[in-house]
Amino acid sequence: MLAKDFGTAEFSDHTRLKNRLTASLAKYGLRIEGVTDTFGVGARKQWPKVLAKLPDQTAWTSQQLLDQLDFVCRQIADHEKRLQERIALTSEMQLLLTVPGIGKILAPAIFLELGDIGRFPSAEHFASYAGTTPRVYASGDKTRYGKLRPDVNRYLKWAFVEAANCIALHARRQPNRHASKLYTRIRHRKNHAKAVGAVARHLAEAVWWMLTKKEPYRDPAMTKRPS
């Protein structure tokens, strides 16, 4: 069984639909107030009033996207239920579930794709194999970072980017997380894509350390340094 068997299309659609809906609200200066999750149960009660403030065609399109999102959410729930019935969680998968953005679909997908973590000599090597490190162009005393590498394990790249997108969507909901802070800082300085790439790399490197040490994820922002 490979990552392509884990409902990757539905998971990607889930992120894409949420991003489009969020962008539509932002374009017209609208937001769902008083909630931490824009698409949670409480927030969905506010959507009809917010849609009514949008231009007619935009409101209609947004409602179609919400309907699609509901359908995709049901598909993802079905995938999760089916995976639970067919895949026994290993100790490694249970560790992966402690990582922000990684849930019941991404954890087994990542575990089955990475194989033995011991074959990677460092976190940087694993992050590169997982497609979360950008190309580096050096000329003289100048260094420029390009797009994420294409010659990688594309299923791991998909999984870590999806996890990073999930963190981006909920950055306001959990602003004290290291990954949320990392996303917000780079997004303000550069753009969404670069920020998601940086978070994906953080997650990949964290996974290497976790599986190597057999320890759950420790959020750098929450870990107290010894005085």
Q: Which two tokens stand for residue 114?
A: 């990475």
| Whole-angstrom distance, CA of residue 96 vs CA of residue 110 | 8
Each residue's pLDDT, cut to its tens digit, for the chain (227 residues) gives 445 555 556 667 887 898 899 889 989 999 888 887 888 888 888 999 999 999 999 999 999 999 999 998 888 888 778 877 777 789 999 999 999 999 888 998 899 899 899 999 999 999 999 999 875 544 455 545 555 556 689 899 999 999 999 899 888 888 899 999 999 999 999 899 899 999 999 999 999 999 999 999 999 887 655 44
Residues in Cβ contact with 180 at an 8 Å cutoff, skipping those fewer than 6 apart? 167, 170, 171, 174
| Whole-angstrom distance, CA of residue 7 vs CA of residue 46 | 29
142: three-class secondary structure by DSSP: strand
How many Cβ atoms are within 10 Å of 68's Cβ, its own excluded?
16
| Whole-angstrom distance, CA of residue 179 vs CA of residue 177 | 5
CB 75 within 8 A of CB 10: yes
214: three-class secondary structure by DSSP: coil
| Whole-angstrom distance, CA of residue 200 vs CA of residue 162 | 8
64: three-class secondary structure by DSSP: helix
Q: Look at strands 142-148 and 134-139 and give their pairing.
A: antiparallel
pLDDT of amino acid 138: 46
How many Cβ atoms are within 10 Å of 226's Cβ, its own excluded?
3
Cα 96 versus chain centre, distance: 13
Rg of the chain taking only CA atoms, in angstroms: 19
pLDDT of amino acid 226: 47
Q: Which two tokens stand for residue 88?
A: 């026994």
